[in-house]
Structure 1
Amino acid sequence: MAKTTSRLIALYGGTFDPIHYGHLKPVEALAKQVALHQVTIMPNNVPPHRPQPRADSQQRKTMVQIAIAGNPLFKLDDRELQRETPSYTVETLEQLRAEIGSEQPLAFIVGQDSLLNLQRWHRWETLLTLCHLLVCQRPGYSVSMDTIEEQQWLDAHQASSVEQLHTQPVGKIYLAQTPMYDISATAIRQRLEHHLPCDDLIPSAVAEFIRQHHLYS
């Protein structure tokens, strides 16, 4: 595989309904581990594997913008919010590859829960031909795959060093040792429905936006 010295680009997708510290803090730790200069947060519009978001696309986009304001690590890409069709990660990665070329190192950030369910994703077997996977730990999820075949697949692609992520454009899975935050958007929405405070779970400016717009209540 061809070598390159281009800076590793990292993407982080999700519904972010709402964005919270369980999204932001592990990725900040990941960035230090693998020397990421920037992470592009990419909210999706029509998630194919979960219920539709409670907040609309513009509200979720605004909450992300508020959450990352003043943090140079993060930037926003709203291309998936422009689609009315399901937000399949592989299609977004193909679009990005057409823009940045085949030699640019590119990574997609997922949680351990997503890795365990990856083979349910649309055209999952194509993902590692388009990017690396950077995997953040999640509380309560196994570090091993469910089947021998899946574990062999993981072992065959697991990165042995951070350097591989920067010198190869695609094909590696990096299991990061990130802090685990037992925070979920579902639990936050439930707390907000019962008018319970969430200021320790989400950025204060996001909490204020939610209050002003009476979201989730």
Structure 2
Amino acid sequence: MKIGIYGGSFNPVHNGHLNIVKYVLNELKLDKIIVIPVGRPSHKADNLELGALRIEMCKAAFENLHNVEVSDIETDKDKISYTINTLKKIIKIYGKKNDFYEIIGEDSAYHFKEWKNYEEILQLSKVVVLRRKGYIGEIQHENMIYLESPFFNVSSTEIREKIKNKIDITNLVPKKVKKIIEKNNLYK
């Protein structure tokens, strides 16, 4: 099986994330993508909404894609999340006989050499890099796959700012995600 692993803050999950998952599934002919909201990020300030709420939003966002699974493998931990540790857990769950594809944005690829055990990540999986405006991934490796993906010009930061400033986000997030944000009074 070809299994994609798509980690991120998903704070909140938005239509760009949804489009990326559909695009990568189709482009690389993956059997499944596991969406993993980060617990405590290793590389940025922890200003995340509760893991349970981000899991709920992701499940709502991806519910109509039968080959997408949302995992709480990181959000149920209070430790810093490192990609290498999560990758090893996923490999243990699904078995080494499968092919694993870590999906990252080019902004992350730009700093990939700073990731904990990045060389081991490249041994255990392929790293799929989605092009992002303003960045150029610096690592060339046989297991790095750069996709000339369409730019999905929306960010969670932008959405949080719009919510804070009472600007409508209807076209930026799935309907059910918007309802969860409103119901829980998030990002105000």
TM-score by length of 2: 0.94
Report the Cα distance in structure 2 between the residues aligned to 1:86 and 1:53, rounded to whole angstroms.
13
The answer to whether structure 1 residue 196 and structure 2 residue 170 are counterparts is no
Q: Is the 8 A contact 1:42 1:80 kept in 2?
A: yes
Report the Cα distance in structure 2 between the residues aligned to 1:54 and 1:90, rounded to whole angstroms.
21
Cα displacement (A) at 1:185: 0.7
Report the Cα distance in structure 2 between the residues aligned to 1:197 and 1:86, rounded to whole angstroms.
33
Number of aligned residue pairs: 188
2:47 is paired with a residue whose SS is coil
The answer to whether structure 1 residue 69 and structure 2 residue 63 are counterparts is yes
1:82 is paired with a residue whose SS is coil
Report the Cα distance in structure 2 between the residues aligned to 1:95 and 1:213, rounded to whole angstroms.
31
Residue 115 of structure 2: which of 117, 121, 126 is its match?
121
Distance 1:132 1:216, change over 3 A: same
Report the Cα distance in structure 2 between the residues aligned to 1:75 and 1:54, rounded to whole angstroms.
21
Runs of 5+ consecutive residues of structure 1 not aligned to the other structure: 1-6, 158-171
Q: Is the 8 A contact 1:67 1:203 kept in 2?
A: yes
Which amino acid in the other structure matches residue 6 of structure 2? Answer: Y
Report the Cα distance in structure 2 between the residues aligned to 1:50 and 1:87, rounded to whole angstroms.
11
Q: Is the 8 A contact 1:27 1:136 kept in 2?
A: no
Which amino acid in the other structure matches residue 138 of structure 1? Answer: R
- CA-to-aligned-CA distance 1:10-61 (integer Å, 9 cap, x gap): 1100110000112121221121111112211011110011121331111111
TM-score by length of 1: 0.82
Which amino acid in the other structure matches residue 146 of structure 2? Answer: L
The answer to whether structure 1 residue 182 and structure 2 residue 153 are counterparts is yes
Q: Is the 8 A contact 1:188 1:198 kept in 2?
A: yes
Aligned twin of 1:57 = 51
Residue 102 of structure 1: which of 71, 96, 108 is its match?
96
Runs of 5+ consecutive residues of structure 2 not aligned to the other structure: none
Q: Is the 8 A contact 1:26 1:180 kept in 2?
A: no
Report the Cα distance in structure 2 between the residues aligned to 1:30 and 1:9, rounded to whole angstroms.
11
Cα displacement (A) at 1:100: 3.2
Q: Is the 8 A contact 1:136 1:176 kept in 2?
A: yes
Which amino acid in the other structure matches residue 186 of structure 2? Answer: L
Which amino acid in the other structure matches residue 211 of structure 1? Answer: E
Q: Is the 8 A contact 2:9 2:37 kept in 1?
A: yes
Which protein, 1 or 2, shows the higher relative CO under an 8 Å CA cutoff with sep ≥ 6? 1
Cα displacement (A) at 1:140: 2.3
Between Structure 1 and Structure 2, the one with more strand by share is 2
Report the Cα distance in structure 1 between the residues aligned to 2:26 and 2:46, rounded to whole angstroms.
33
Between structure 1 and structure 2, the one with the greater Rg is 1
The CA RMSD over aligned residues, in Å, is 1.4
Aligned twin of 2:12 = 18
Percent identical residues: 26
Cα displacement (A) at 1:74: 1.5
